[in-house]
């Protein structure tokens, strides 16, 4: 048994003082240090420093580890030139990205307090690393293929990867990712959604990331027309926005981006129990716009903050992402936003994916991120904001009670 005694503990979206936490691999008790010492006389005591804050381990719901080799290769600023640069450099980037490189990025995530992440896997090449890292991983096997002639073959490949992820254990949770409405044929999409539903697997899908995607799905026009003519000899989108959304009616899905979704579409998604992964830096770098989070808040729709991969970002540090979100979303009171952002990398993703973490509460997994503020916070309401502003790396991370 270990007892950790920081200055503040983030419990129920508030910062509490004069409490400590006793834990093994699970959280056993939350009480005053004196009471816990009496209850567990043989426990190891870890005193946090002055101004230390204990958070539940952070959850990054959307990352592409396979693209970790990108630093300066891909073209940023607009979506279509970026996608063209991905197609042109994909083989080289994925080829350069070995296990050591991906493990380094897992460690970088861990140094920012991420104890669970959602790996969107196009090829399955990061599976070994995901088994090796102490972090918990939602392993989203991605389905792609809009062309009817090759869709079956690609679906078979997807099922094989899904099977491999089901067999590995080691904190790897098998899951399904749909690449996007424009790149997945509706027939195989329906089959994959059926698998998620019948096997109760987490499911996620990129959705309405760019204006180009919207134009293509609405009218088979815009920047995607040339792209599809060039690479797939077709001039017609395989689905519509409504048809795509309706495919997920029975299965709560984590939709990534949704920057270009209308209020009506967001309302439809909220009504069907879906959630959003919001990747502010990726959206900015690919010229996709700003997700109107105030509409999600109004709809009471759960959303998470996620880094996306290094194919559209300059780090996988969750604090870098939170700082970007804080600066991008200028509407509404600042401290409220900071508190919401912390919730959106802890209890909100845990609830979306039914994880036994994301909260400091008896019975939850002992996954923690311990940080120390550089000076005294002037009020408990400002701690989330000051944490986001001042934390580059955490002091310590615990996963299932083990200090990493």
- Residues 297-316, one symbol each (x = binds Fe ion by CB under 5 A, - = not), give -----------x--------
Q: What is the rounded CA–CA span in Å between residue 396 and residue 348?
A: 22
How near is the Cβ of 67 to Fe ion at its closest, in Å? 9
- Annotation marks residue 226 as catalytic: no
Q: What is the rounded CA–CA span in Å between residue 212 and residue 324?
A: 24
How near is the Cβ of 143 to ligand BEZ at its closest, in Å? 10
Whose CB is nearest to Fe ion? 308
Q: Is 38 left (phi over 0), alpha (psi -120 to 50) or beta?
A: alpha
Residues near ligand BEZ (CB under 6 A): 144-147, 182-183
Question: Closer CB to ligand BEZ, residue 146 or residue 386?
Answer: 146
Question: Closer CB to Fe ion, residue 84 or residue 308?
Answer: 308
| Torsion, Cα of 322, 176, 243, 198 (10° steps) | -130
Question: Closer CB to Fe ion, residue 126 or residue 308?
Answer: 308
Binding at 141: pick from Fe ion, ligand BEZ, none (beta carbon under 5-8 Å per type): none
Question: Closer CB to ligand BEZ, residue 178 or residue 342?
Answer: 178
Question: Closer CB to ligand BEZ, residue 144 or residue 305?
Answer: 144
Q: What is the rounded CA–CA span in Å between residue 178 and residue 180?
A: 6
How near is the Cβ of 191 to ligand BEZ at its closest, in Å? 16
The tokens for 365 are 């997994």
How near is the Cβ of 180 to ligand BEZ at its closest, in Å? 7
Q: Output the CA–CA distances (angstroms, integers) from residue 379 to 17, 365, 385, in the order listed.
A: 12, 29, 11
Whose CB is nearest to ligand BEZ? 146
Which of 209, 213, 265, 359 is flagged as catalytic?
209
How near is the Cβ of 202 to ligand BEZ at its closest, in Å? 22
Binding at 125: pick from ligand BEZ, Fe ion, none (beta carbon under 5-8 Å per type): none
Binding at 146: pick from Fe ion, ligand BEZ, none (beta carbon under 5-8 Å per type): ligand BEZ
Determine phi and psi for 26, rounding to 5 degrees: -115, 165
State whether the Cα torsion 83-253-14-135 is positive or negative. negative
How near is the Cβ of 161 to ligand BEZ at its closest, in Å? 15
Question: Closer CB to Fe ion, residue 308 or residue 359?
Answer: 308
Measured N-to-C along each axis, helices 148-166 and 186-199 cross at an angle, to the nearest 10 degrees, of 20
H helices of 247-382, where? 263-271, 280-285, 293-299, 318-328, 334-343, 347-352
| Torsion, Cα of 385, 389, 395, 399 (10° steps) | 60
Binding at 144: pick from ligand BEZ, Fe ion, none (beta carbon under 5-8 Å per type): ligand BEZ
How many residues touch Fe ion under the rule CB under 5 A: the total is 1
Are 139 and 116 contacting, i.e. CB atoms less than 8 angstroms apart?
Answer: no
Q: What is the rounded CA–CA span in Å between residue 44 and residue 168?
A: 33
| Catalytic positions | 209
Residues interacting with Fe ion, by CB under 5 A? 308
């Amino acid at each position: 048994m270990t007892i950790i005694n920081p200055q503040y503990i983030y419990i129920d979206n508030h910062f509490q003082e004069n409490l400590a936490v006793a834990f093994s691999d699970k959280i056993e008790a939350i009480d005053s240090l004196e009471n816990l010492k009496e209850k567990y006389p043989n426990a190891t005591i870890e005193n946090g420093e002055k101004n230390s804050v204990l958070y539940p381990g952070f959850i990054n719901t959307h990352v592409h580890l396979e693209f970790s080799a990108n630093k300066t290769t891909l073209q940023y600023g607009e979506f279509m030139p970026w996608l063209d640069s991905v197609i042109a450099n994909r083989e080289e980037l994925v080829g350069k990205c070995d296990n050591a490189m991906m493990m380094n990025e897992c460690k970088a995530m861990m140094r920012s307090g991420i104890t669970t992440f959602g790996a969107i896997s196009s090829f399955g090449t990061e599976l070994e690393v995901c088994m090796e890292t102490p972090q918990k991983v939602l392993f989203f096997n991605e389905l792609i293929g809009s062309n009817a002639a090759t869709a079956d073959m690609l679906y078979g490949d997807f099922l094989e990867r899904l099977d491999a992820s089901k067999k590995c254990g080691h904190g790897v949770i098998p899951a399904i990712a749909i690449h996007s409405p424009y790149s997945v044929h509706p027939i195989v999409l329906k089959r994959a959604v059926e698998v998620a539903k019948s096997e109760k697997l987490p499911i996620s899908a990129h959705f309405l990331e760019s204006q180009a995607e919207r134009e293509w799905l609405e009218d088979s026009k815009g920047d995607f027309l040339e792209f599809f003519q060039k690479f797939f000899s077709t001039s017609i989108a395989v689905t519509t926005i409504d048809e795509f959304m309706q495919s997920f009616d029975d299965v709560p899905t984590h939709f990534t981006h949704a920057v270009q979704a209308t209020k009506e579409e967001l309302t439809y998604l909220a009504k069907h129990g879906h959630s959003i992964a919001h990747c502010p830096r990726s959206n900015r770098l690919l010229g996709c716009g700003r997700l109107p989070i105030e509409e999600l808040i109004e709809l009471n729709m759960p959303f998470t903050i996620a880094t996306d991969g290094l194919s559209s970002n300059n780090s996988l540090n969750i604090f870098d992402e939170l700082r970007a979100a804080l600066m991008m979303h200028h509407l509404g009171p600042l401290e409220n936003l900071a508190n919401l952002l912390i919730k959106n990398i802890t209890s909100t993703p845990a609830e979306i994916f039914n994880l036994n973490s994301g909260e400091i509460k008896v019975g939850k997994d002992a996954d923690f991120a311990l940080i120390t503020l550089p000076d005294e916070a002037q009020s408990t309401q400002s701690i989330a904001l000051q944490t986001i502003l001042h934390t580059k790396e955490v002091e310590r991370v615990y996963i299932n009670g083990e200090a990493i």
